[in-house]
Amino acid sequence: MARIAPHVGRATTVQNRKNTKDKDYLSFVHELPCVVTGRSGVVAAHLSASSPKHGHWGRAKMKKASDRFVLPLTNDQHLRSHNYPGGEMQFWIDNGISDPHGLCLALSGLFYEIGNDAVDECVAIIRSKQW
């Protein structure tokens, strides 16, 4: 009679997966306008707030979120987002972006499908203010 070894090949939980880092995607994000002001000259702002329904488990201690969860913000707006009364999610809501995680996935999804040619489509999404 064969025995099955317990816990062999145990799957890693989603929360414990290594965060994705992608310098090409971050360079692409720097070509986009700020999602708040529409201005150019942005930094890639990593979301800190978790959203399990989007596959984002927040930040671990001293660790940034995966690069797919970044949005282009001017440096001023980036600093505001970190010091905003009410926290990060309130910053997004007050700036007309009710689903920042969905916006991140839309932008990164276009990049991973069509590469740097996705700039125009991403700019149109940002300007639509439908988030």
pLDDT of 13-52, one tens digit each? 444 445 578 899 999 999 999 999 999 999 999 998 878 8
Instruction: Compute how many other C-beta atoms are within 10 angstroms of the C-beta atom of residue 128.
Output: 8
pLDDT given at position 13: 45
Q: 106 in a domain, yes or no? A: yes
Q: 12 in a domain, yes or no? A: no
Q: 85 in a domain, yes or no? A: yes
pTM for the complete prediction? 0.80
Distance CA 24, CA 22 (A): 5
User: Domain count of the chain?
Assistant: 1
Inform me whether the pLDDT recorded for 5 exceeds 50.
no
Distance CA 21, CA 124 (A): 25
pLDDT given at position 63: 59
Distance CA 85, CA 73 (A): 18
* 73 vs 11, residue with greater confidence: 73
Distances (CA, A) of 31 to 11, 13, 55, 67, 76: 37, 34, 25, 15, 17
Helices (H), ranges, the chain: 23-29, 75-82, 88-94, 100-114, 119-128
Inform me whether the pLDDT recorded for 75 exceeds 50.
yes
Domain that holds residue 109: 20-52+64-128
Q: 11 in a domain, yes or no? A: no
Inform me whether the pLDDT recorded for 4 exceeds 80.
no
**Residue found by looking up tokens 């040619």 in the block:** 117
For range 104-123, the mean pLDDT: 96
Two tokens at 15? 């929360």
Q: 15 in a domain, yes or no? A: no
Distance CA 7, CA 85 (A): 45
SS3 state at 30: coil
Helices (H), ranges, 44-94: 75-82, 88-94
* From 18-22, 24-28, 76-80, 96-100, the region with the lowest mean pLDDT: 18-22
* 37 vs 65, residue with greater confidence: 37
